[in-house]
Amino acid sequence: MFCEQVEEILVENGVPFESVEVKERHEQEAISRRHGALAFPLVLVGGNYIGGFTHVVQLHSEGRLRAVMLGEKPQESGKPDSGMGLGSLSGYAALGRLLNQRKTGE
């Protein structure tokens, strides 16, 4: 459920991405350990973990999603910054997919 919602937000914001389904439990655990994540989806930019569902939703609500994902200058949203850093997400339980977002042209 959370994976699909992240995909919808990325599509809505015109952010190209690759979605990879990870079915094997041991692979899920290895990926989670490698990136220090507690749950799926994992969202990566250029191989770097930036967060999961909660972080993507927060960036979207602040108008900073495209800037973080594509390296663009953020638009002024008029909303206060939550102060969420790129590594502050605790995660939500939605196992099954790894979202591997790549920058345009890479």
CA–CA distance, 103 with 106 (Å, rounded to integer): 6
Contact criterion met (CB below 8 Å) for 2 and 94: yes
DSSP per residue, 84-101:
--TT-------TTEEEEE
pLDDT tens digits, residue range 93-103? 222 233 333 33
Cα 15 versus chain centre, distance: 11
CA–CA distance, 99 with 106 (Å, rounded to integer): 16
DSSP structure class, residue 81: P
pLDDT tens digits, residue range 10-62? 999 999 999 988 889 999 999 999 998 888 899 988 888 889 999 999 999 99
